[in-house]
């Protein structure tokens, strides 16, 4: 049985049950399940391995055609030791619209294929065995929903891949007291040596909150707070003696070179209630900032050397087979000299972010975009994106937010005021929730209001294309040259918006394919490892020679189906000497010496 690890590692409770494994399953191609009340009774003809989508090999089904309506069923029993607690059901992600039935009654609905959701189902339960039914609707050809790289045609091509329908992240039960902690927000302040914390409770009641912070098993502080509201805000002085003459030392800060984490626990005891809620988490003391044309980490200029990570796996599609596979991707990228990634066109699995936190790996948190702009999709997109930000805000590895990429979903943003306003609204709402991280308005081109100027440039030429090589080098040489470049024939900024000194990042380039077969492709191609290393070294030399770049993101970590331009094969085998790739990346120093 796959994926049995705790699915939300920065908001942990001890009382939980994993519901992954074999479920009953049916396609509903005629969309008759509701009329025939499949949530009450149905003869399910198939089995599926949750949390893998039916398109994947690991699901046990592996059918790639359009099946927009699907149903799942399984049974569970609440252990007697949890009978006095409330029962929550949690879904890591269900693509795209879902309905949750418990014992034949509708308990929850959710829209959005990339964000987690939870529902109290206590009042729907019966003694003994309970029946859980999940219905999912994934409109395969709708180009106005947040789909990322999922193609609206049956056969993948170009940069588009297989669809993911239905449950594709862990499902689990959780048991909590009547009044529990629902949400946690932690923002570190390394300049003051403190962390600002906000808690949201399930209801407003009087009680006591106990907090303990540990550093590698040693108690740092313990604090008790009386609570009498649904929302609680407070600060913890992690370094009480910190002053202008006593700055936080590097050993206490989080960075890719030193991923130092503090453990924190919360115990909520409500008056006249016998049960208490306990939540365990962690945090890193780190600061990310975009200013003066540079990116800063912990108040020092820090060059971000990122790799584009599509988040796909050969057997599981968007779902890694094992937790170790998520960790391996980070370890492989770091072994090649990268210090982070753009998790591209998919909201990261929380377990991936957990490993990034533990190992020390920067992550740009990105939303899966639509392809076309539709007025009725706008509010749903905003809602889903902000849920993703709120869920992942506590991960120190996340150092930037990317709601839009290459004008996907906003194809007329260059001059369309409504689409421009949509981009600006995404920026402003994201900053309101999280003012501590940079936000990129539209990665690649046609940016509106943005904290980082992100540019894509794949026009760097094959080995014999000297003119393109020269043009690429000249484009990166100065700020004026970069800002006058038209990536894919697009303006860097949308009409009416201009550059205001933001750090400039070459956030996509490379895509060099090893042509193993006629079906593979890349933005450029090489015939051998020697030719690839020569080309890669040339590109890194050009980036190093630039007078204005604050970071880069190379396309890409792995091959993905027909797109054979990864540094690794799809099954994570290096295609070129890892140490030589690292030596080229090491040409650019992360911090000033």
Q: What are the helix (H) ranges across 26-183? A: none
Rounded CA-CA distance 222/170 in Å is 33
pLDDT at 41: 93
* Segment 332-374, tens digit of pLDDT: 999 999 999 999 999 999 999 999 999 999 999 999 999 999 9
Q: What are phi and psi of 586, to 5 degrees?
A: -70, -10
> Could you tell me what percent of the chain has a pLDDT over 90?
91
User: How far does CA 19 lie from the centroid of its chain?
Assistant: 23
Q: Does the pLDDT value for residue 535 go beyond 50?
A: yes
Q: pLDDT-derived band of residue 518, with 50, 70 and 90 as boundaries? A: low
Q: How confident is the model at residue 1 (pLDDT cuts 50, 70, 90)?
A: low
CATH-assigned architecture of domain 16-176: Sandwich (2.60)
Residue with structure tokens 């039916």? 54
Whole-number Å distance between alpha carbons of 366 and 352:
14
* 46-50 and 21-27 strand pairing: antiparallel
Rounded to the nearest 5 percent, the helix, strand and coil shares of the chain are: 20, 35, 45
Q: Is-contact 555 523, C-beta < 8 A?
A: yes
> Is the pLDDT reported for residue 496 higher than 80?
yes
How far apart are the C-alpha atoms of 304 and 353, rounded to whole Å?
Answer: 17
Q: What is the mean pLDDT of residues 445-471?
A: 93
Higher-confidence position of 245 and 301:
301
- What are the two backbone dihedrals, phi and then psi, of residue 526, each rounded to the nearest 5 degrees? -130, 165
pLDDT (0 to 100) of residue 185: 97
221, burial (CB in 10 Å: exposed 0-12, middle 13-18, buried 19+): middle
Which pLDDT value is given to residue 593? 46
pLDDT at 240 over 80: no
Instruction: Tell me what pLDDT residue 384 has.
Output: 97
Q: Which fold has domain 191-283?
A: Immunoglobulin-like (2.60.40)
Query: Could you tell me the residue ranges of all domains in the chain?
Result: 16-176, 191-283, 302-370+378-391+398-407+441-585
**302-370+378-391+398-407+441-585, CATH topology level:** TIM Barrel (3.20.20)
Residue 591: what pLDDT?
84
C-alpha count within 13 angstroms, C-beta hemisphere, residue 54 = 26
* Residue 478 main-chain phi, psi, to 5 deg: -145, 165
SS3 state at 72 = strand
Give the model's pLDDT for residue 387: 97
Look at residues 286, 297, 294 and name the one whose alpha carbon lies nearest to residue 451. 294
Give the pTM.
0.96
451 vs 503: CA distance, rounded Å: 8
* pLDDT at residue 208 tops 80: yes
* Averaged pLDDT, 90-110: 98
Rounded CA-CA distance 154/409 in Å is 20
Q: Which residue has the tokens 């689990």?
A: 172
What is the distance between the alpha carbons of residues 476 and 511, in angstroms, rounded to a whole number?
17
- What is the structure's pLDDT at 245? 47
> Please, what is the average pLDDT of the chain?
95
Contact 2, 167 (CB under 8 A): no
Please check whether residue 341 is in contact with residue 399, taking contact to mean a CB–CB distance below 8 angstroms.
no
């Amino acid at each position: 049985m796959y994926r049995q690890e705790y699915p939300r590692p920065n908001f942990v409770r001890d009382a939980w049950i994993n519901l992954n494994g074999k479920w009953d399953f049916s396609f509903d191609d005629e969309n008759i399940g509701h009329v025939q009340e499949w949530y009450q009774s149905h003869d399910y003809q198939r089995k599926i391995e949750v949390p893998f989508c039916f398109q994947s090999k690991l699901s046990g089904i592996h059918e790639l055609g359009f099946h927009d309506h699907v149903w799942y069923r399984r049974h569970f029993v609440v252990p007697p030791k949890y009978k006095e607690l409330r029962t929550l059901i949690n879904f890591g992600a269900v693509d795209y619209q879902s309905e949750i039935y418990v014992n034949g009654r509708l308990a929850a609905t959710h829209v959005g294929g990339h964000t987690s959701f939870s529902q109290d189902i206590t009042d729907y339960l019966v003694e003994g065995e309970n029946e859980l039914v999940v219905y999912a609707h994934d409109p395969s050809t709708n180009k106005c929903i947040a789909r990322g790289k999922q193609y609206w045609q049956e056969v993948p091509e170009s940069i588009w891949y297989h669809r993911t329908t239905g449950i594709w992240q862990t499902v689990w039960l959780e048991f909590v007291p009547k009044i529990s902690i629902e949400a946690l927000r932690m923002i570190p302040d390394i300049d003051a040596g403190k962390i600002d914390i906000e808690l949201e409770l399930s209801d407003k009641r009087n009680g006591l909150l106990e907090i303990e912070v540990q550093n590698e098993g040693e108690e740092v502080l313990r604090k008790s707070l009386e609570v009498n509201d649904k929302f609680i805000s407070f600060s913890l002085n992690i370094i009480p003696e910190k002053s202008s003459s006593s700055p936080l030392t590097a050993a206490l800060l989080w960075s890719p070179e030193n991923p130092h984490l503090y453990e924190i626990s919360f115990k909520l005891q409500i008056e006249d209630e016998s049960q208490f809620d306990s939540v365990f988490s962690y945090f890193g003391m780190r600061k990310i900032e975009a200013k003066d044309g540079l990116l800063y980490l912990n108040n020092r200029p820090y060059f971000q050397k990122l790799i584009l990570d599509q988040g796909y796996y050969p057997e599981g599609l968007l779902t890694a087979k094992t937790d170790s596979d998520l960790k391996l991707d980070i370890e492989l990228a770091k072994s090649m000299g990268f210090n982070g990634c753009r998790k591209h066109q998919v909201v990261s699995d929380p377990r991936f972010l957990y490993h990034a936190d533990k190992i020390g790996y920067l992550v740009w948190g990105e939303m899966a975009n639509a392809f076309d702009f539709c007025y009725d999709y706008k509010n749903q997109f905003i809602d889903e994106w902000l849920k993703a930000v709120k869920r992942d805000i506590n991960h120190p590895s996340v150092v930037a937010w990317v709601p839009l990429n290459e004008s996907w979903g906003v194809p007329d943003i260059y001059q369309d005021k409504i689409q421009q306003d949509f981009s600006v609204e995404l920026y402003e709402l994201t900053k309101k929730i999280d003012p501590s991280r940079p936000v990129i308005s539209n990665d690649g081109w046609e940016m509106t209001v943005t904290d980082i100027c992100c540019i894509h440039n794949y026009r760097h030429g094959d080995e014999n294309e000297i003119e393109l090589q020269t043009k690429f080098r000249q484009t990166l040489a100065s700020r004026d040259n970069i800002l006058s470049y038209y990536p894919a024939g697009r303006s860097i900024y949308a009409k009416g918006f201009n550059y205001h000194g933001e750090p400039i990042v070459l956030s996509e380039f490379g895509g060099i394919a090893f042509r193993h077969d006629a079906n593979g492709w890349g933005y450029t191609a090489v015939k051998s490892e020697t030719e690839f290393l020569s080309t890669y070294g040339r590109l890194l030399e050009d980036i190093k020679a630039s007078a204005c770049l604050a970071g880069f993101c190379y396309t890409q970590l792995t091959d993905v189906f027909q797109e054979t331009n990864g540094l690794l094969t799809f099954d994570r085998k290096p295609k070129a000497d890892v140490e030589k790739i690292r030596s080229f990346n090491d040409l650019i120093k992360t911090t000033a010496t």
